[in-house]
Amino acid sequence: MDIPAMRASFARAGAHGDHVPLWFYSHLFLTHPDTRDMFPVSMAHQRDRLFAALGEVMARVDDLDALVPILQQLGRDHRKFGALAAHYPAVGGSLLATLEHFDEEWDSYVAASWAEAYGVIAEVMIGAADEAADQPPWWEAEVVAHDRRTIDVAVLHLRTTQPLPYLPGQAVSVESDLRPRLWRWYSPANAPRPDNGLELHVKARDGGPVSAALVRQVQVGQVLRLGPPVGHLALDTGSDRDLLLVAGGTGLAPMKALVDQVARQGPARRVDLFVGSRTEDGFYDRADLRRLEQEHPWFTVTCAVSHEKGSSVEHGDIGDVVLRHGPWNGRDAYVAGNPATVEDTVTRLHSAGLSMDRIRTEVFAASRPSPTVDGKVTE
Amino acid sequence: MTTSDSGRGYEAGPPTADDLRAVHFTPASMLHPGYTDREVDAFVARAADELARLTQENAQLRQHVSALEQQLDAVAARPSPSDQAVGILATAQLTADEYVAEAEDFSRQMTSEARAQYEEQLSAAREKAGAIIQAAQEAGASIAASAGRGSVGPAVPDTEQLQEQVAYLKAFGQACRTQLRSYLEALLSDVETEWGRAHPAALPPVPVGVRPQQLERGSGPATAMSFHGNAAVDGQHEDAAGATAAAVPATRVPS
């Protein structure tokens, strides 16, 4: 396997931009028409990602220790798309045909290197998929309640037919028959329950096909499909420090899951949750938070609005409000929300003396169809 | 019996080609020509077993090869698509992508405009509500102030006092109305008696025993009953229960 030669070849082909993945998928669908059903109607986003992902894999191909776990995760995750071992040679064939088409200096030597490299990648992915065969490729989840809380936020209560193991704070991908083949990531707002119940907080993004359908169209009784969980915002079980949780928008969901985990599993500790919103209408889950506050003496909730004067709750950017209630230097901090909120809050907490290794974050933004090689699930 | 190199002539297991070439059997004896029967029989049996096994394996392999050849043919029969075909599909895909993107864009635009409108109306409504409340408070304050100027005792009477006054005024109004009505009725009755005697035909017939006052009293529940769907038909509707219900049948006679 001549890695420098492969990288050079990949770079030459990559210079043709969007035409390369377009050609690749067209070739794949013509040679294996059955694979077309695994993709959404619009391939625009898919195309951007394929070569980005391939590029990331190529960049690490000489560091197999780092690459293998990533490929294993990808292999497990691809089961939900219906990917079978038989599809891997098909993809490999089209990949080589594509590189050959675009690389002016393609020869049998480079071809052999690519074939070998792809063989290794496919083997690792298939192996990981086979190892996960005791788990379903996806989990069916019935919508048992759909609660439209604001003009663009809904809280969905789901129940999976089989237990879906995940850590509180992780995200699962969601697909609906309303928008087939479009998978989006959502964090359950609870720790796993014996009744397999899941609570999802969904904000409809303007023009977002999946989120808008989940907020405005999904009916009780419909069945969604959930993919295996990913994500790193998990409670540090090695620590029993008190917690500071900061949530903006539907970043509340993973925070609520952490509260649920402390309530169910302990260890006992103080948990202070700060919820930020532009206006007071944005507190879509206030009643339930109040209930939790009453049930758990160790738990407090503080709401803050940034863009509404004369409201009854605190005023200011959430990061600012958090600091006003400090100091938090003895805490483990967890922050989830939109990129600006997370960055601002982390910067403030850090400058107030909280060390970075005590701050864990999850940025909530438009969902990626699949995680990056680093396990990132948002744009 | 011995073989040239291994001496495995009697041993179990499949004989190799070399075994066959180098096999030596012990001459039976000086008196009987030929080999020892037992050795020959055993060796032939081993050779037969091996031949059978090889034949079977050969058949399996042949089958396997033909299956692989078929697969190979199938792959060869699906030729790599021509660049033209790939190009056409690529164009079709791009067109589909554009339609989807346009639809999403349209949806995004509509939604954000709708939200902007919603927020605008909401804040306008809030402002309006705020203005109304403020105006009401100001009006309340000015009324209280003027009331305070007019009264001799405490400047602003408390709510309880006001409620008492309102109740008193209501009762007073009711009493006045009853008085006036009785007076008017008496007057009408007089007029009726006097004028009726003079021109009985000029008067509409008045149902016996139904005095205008009773009609007035009964009209409350009767109207209420008309809202209860079938109540007017069966006349026994449970919803009409209560103190006033007794008056209802009497007042409903004309209908």
What pLDDT shows up at residue A377? 55
Best residue in B84, B86, B115 for a mutation probing chain A (most A CBs within 10 Å): B86
Containing domain of residue A349, as a range? 243-363
Are the C-beta atoms of residues A202 and A184 closer than 8 Å to each other?
no
pLDDT tens string B225-238: 333 333 333 333 33
Write out the residue range of the structural domain in which residue B91 sits. 86-149
Same structural domain for residues B217 and B251? yes
Neighbour-count burial of A208, counting CB atoms closer than 10 A to its CB (0-12 exposed, 13-18 middle, 19+ buried): buried
- Identity of the residue in A26, A41, A97 whose CB atom sits nearest the CB atom of B100: A41
- DSSP H/E element including A315: strand A314-315
**What's the first-to-final CA gap in chain B, in angstroms?**
132
> How many independent structural domains does chain B possess?
4
Q: Tell me, what CATH number does A70's domain have?
A: 1.10.490.10
Considering only CB atoms, A44 lies closest to which of B101, B107, B112, namely: B101
Percent of all residues in chain B with a pLDDT value above 90, rounded to a whole number: 8
Q: Which residues of A212-249 are buried (b: 16+ CB within 10 A; e: fewer)?
A: bbbbbebeeeeebbbbbbbbebbbeeeeeebbbbbbbb
pLDDT band at residue A316 using 50, 70 and 90 as cut-offs: confident
Q: Look at residue B207 and tell me if it is in a domain.
A: no
User: To the nearest whole percent, how much of chain B has pLDDT over 70?
Assistant: 61
Burial tier of B2 (Cβ tally within 10 Å: 0-12, 13-18, 19+): middle
* Amino acid found at A247: A
Are B244 and B220 in contact by the 8 Å Cβ rule? The answer is: yes
Please report the pLDDT score of residue A378 as a whole number: 57
Instruction: Write down the pLDDT at residue A300.
Output: 92
Are A209 and B90 an interchain contact pair (Cβ–Cβ within 8 Å)?
Answer: no
pLDDT of A265: 86
Per residue in A74-92, pLDDT tens? Answer: 888 888 888 888 888 888 8
Q: CB of A360 within 8 A of CB of A334?
A: yes
Shortest CA distance from B100: residue in chain A? A42
A22 and B96: CB-CB below 8 Å?
no
A189 SS3 class: coil
Mark which of A110, A134, A158 sits at the end of a domain.
A134
Decide if A41 is inside a domain. Answer: yes
Both A145 and A116 in a single domain?
no
Sequence letter at residue A93: G
- Greater confidence, B244 or B202? B202
Q: Does residue A148 share a domain with residue A126?
A: no
Smallest Cα–Cα separation from A188: which of A212, A219, A161, A165? A165
Q: Do residues A129 and A145 both lie within one domain?
A: no
Where is the domain boundary, A134, A155, A182? Answer: A134
- Looking at every residue in chain B, the average pLDDT score rounds to 69
Angle A60-A61-A66 from CA coordinates, rounded to 5°: 55
Q: Shortest CA distance to A129 belongs to which of A63, A171, A72, A55?
A: A72
Is residue A166 classed as helix, strand or coil in its secondary structure?
coil
Residue A370 in any domain: the answer is: no
Last residue of a domain, one of A81, A100, A134: A134
> In terms of domains, do B191 and B237 share one?
no
Beta carbons of B87 and A26 less than 8 Å apart: yes
Same domain, B216 and B162: no
Going through A128-266 in order, the beta strands assigned E by DSSP cover 139-148, 153-160, 172-176, 179-186, 197-203, 223-226, 243-248
In a shared domain, residues A115 and A96: yes
Task: Collect all residues of chain A within an 8 Å Cβ-Cβ radius of residue B96.
Answer: 41-43
B178 vs A72: which has the higher pLDDT: A72
Q: Is B136 part of a structural domain of the chain?
A: yes
Residues B95 and B73 in one domain: no
pLDDT tens readout for residues A23-59: 999 999 999 888 888 888 888 887 877 777 877 787 7
The pLDDT of residue B105 is above 80: yes
**Regarding predicted confidence, which is higher, A301 or B229?**
A301
Do residue A64 and residue A113 come from a single domain? yes
* Domain assignment present for B7: no
Give a yes or no: residue B203 inside a domain.
no
Task: Look at residue A56 and tell me if it is in a domain.
Answer: yes
> Per-residue DSSP letters for A30-84?
HH-GGGGGGS-S--HHHHHHHHHHHHHHHHTTT-HHHHHHHHHHHHHHGGGGT--
* Residue A375 covered by a domain: no
Interface residues on A facing B, Cβ-Cβ cutoff 8 A: 19, 22-23, 25-27, 29-31, 41-44, 97, 101, 151-152, 204, 206-207, 209, 212
CB contact (8 A) between residue B78 and residue A31: yes
A207–B80 CB contact, under 8 Å: no
* Average pLDDT of span A156-162: 95
**Which chain A residues contact residue B101 at CB under 8 A?**
42, 44
Q: Which residue has the higher pLDDT, B15 or B108?
A: B108
Question: Are residues A108 and A45 part of one domain?
Answer: yes
Neighbour-count burial of B135, counting CB atoms closer than 10 A to its CB (0-12 exposed, 13-18 middle, 19+ buried): exposed
A219 vs chain B: nearest CA distance in angstroms? 21
Final residue belonging to a domain, choices B77, B102, B125: B77
- Candidates A31, A151, A206; nearest CB to B108: A206
Residues of B with Cβ-Cβ distance to A25 under 8 angstroms = 93
Tell me how far CA of residue A199 lies from CA of A142, A157, A367, B155, in angstroms: 12, 5, 18, 58
CATH of the domain at A165: 2.40.30.10
Q: Which residues of B touch A43 (CB under 8 A)?
A: 93, 96-97
Candidates A152, A182, A206, A210: best to mutate against B (most CBs of B within 10 A) is A206
CATH of the domain at A259: 3.40.50.80
Is the pLDDT reported for residue B168 higher than 90?
no
Order across the sheet with A359-363: list the strands.
A314-315, A299-305, A271-277, A243-248, A332-337, A359-363
What pLDDT shows up at residue A374? 53
Q: Does B71 touch chain A (CB under 8 A)?
A: no
User: Which one of A43, A151, A212 has the shortest CB-CB distance to B93?
Assistant: A43
Residues of B in contact with A44 (CB under 8 A): 97, 100-101
Per-residue pLDDT tens over the stretch A115-158: 888 888 889 999 998 888 888 888 999 999 999 998 889 999 99
Residue A233: predicted pLDDT: 79
Q: Answer yes or no: do A160 and A124 share one domain.
A: no
Q: Which tokens hold the place of B105?
A: 């864009």
Among B93, B111, B115, beta carbon nearest to A26: B93
Question: With an 8 Å Cβ cutoff, are B97 and A204 in contact?
Answer: no
Q: Kindly compute the dihedral angle of the four CA atoms of residues B89, B92, A217, A221, in this order, to the nearest 10 degrees.
A: -20
First CA to last CA distance, chain A: 33
**Residue A222, token pair as written in the block:** 């419909």
In a domain, A232, yes or no: no
For residues B230 and A5, the model is more confident at A5
B33 domain residue, yes or no: yes
Question: Could you give phi then psi for residue A56, rounded to 5 degrees?
Answer: -65, -40
Q: Are A293 and A301 in contact (CB under 8 A)?
A: yes
Q: Do the Cβ atoms of A29 and B89 come within 8 Å?
A: yes
Cross-chain Cβ contact A26/B83 below 8 Å: no
Residue B204 lies in a domain: no
Interface contact flag, A206 B100, Cβ < 8 Å:
no
Partners of A311 on chain B (C-beta within 8 Å) are: none
With beta carbons under 8 A apart, name residues in chain A contacting B105: 207
> Chain A interface, mutation test: which of B89, B99, B105, B118, most A Cβ atoms within 10 Å?
B89
Burial of A191 (0-12, 13-18, 19+ CB in 10 A): buried
| A-B contacts at Cβ under 8 angstroms | 58
- Please tell me the predicted confidence (pLDDT) of residue A190: 94
Same domain, B193 and B216: no
Give CA–CA dist A113/A5, Å, rounded: 8
Same-domain pairing of B174 and B131: no
User: Is there a domain that residue B236 lies in?
Assistant: yes
Q: Rounded to an integer, what distance in angstroms lies between the CA atom of residue B42 and that of residue A275?
A: 91
| Structural domains in chain A (count) | 3
Domain presence at residue A374? no
* B3 pLDDT higher than 60: no
User: What pLDDT digit, counting tens, does each position of A193-226 carry?
Assistant: 999 999 999 998 888 888 888 998 899 999 999 9
Q: Nearest chain A residue to B130 by CA: give it.
A: A310
DSSP B35: B
Average pLDDT along chain A = 87
Looking at the structure, tell me whether residues B131 and B92 fall in a common domain.
Answer: yes
Tokens of A114: 């690519």
Nearest residue on chain A to B85, alpha-carbon basis: A30
Chain B, 96-115: which have a CB under 8 Å from a chain A CB?
96-97, 100-101, 104-109, 111-112, 115
Span A238-265, average pLDDT: 90
Distance from CA of B69 to the nearest CA of A (A): 18
Q: Is the pTM higher than 0.95? A: no
Q: Is there a single domain that holds both residue A192 and residue A282?
A: no
Query: For residue B214, what pLDDT is reported?
Result: 40
Domain boundary (B77, B102, B122) is at B77
Given its phi and psi angles, is residue B34 left (phi above 0), alpha (psi -120 to 50 degrees) or beta?
left
pLDDT given for residue A226 in this prediction: 94
Tell me: do B67 and B112 sit in the same domain.
no
CA distance A42 to chain B (A): 5
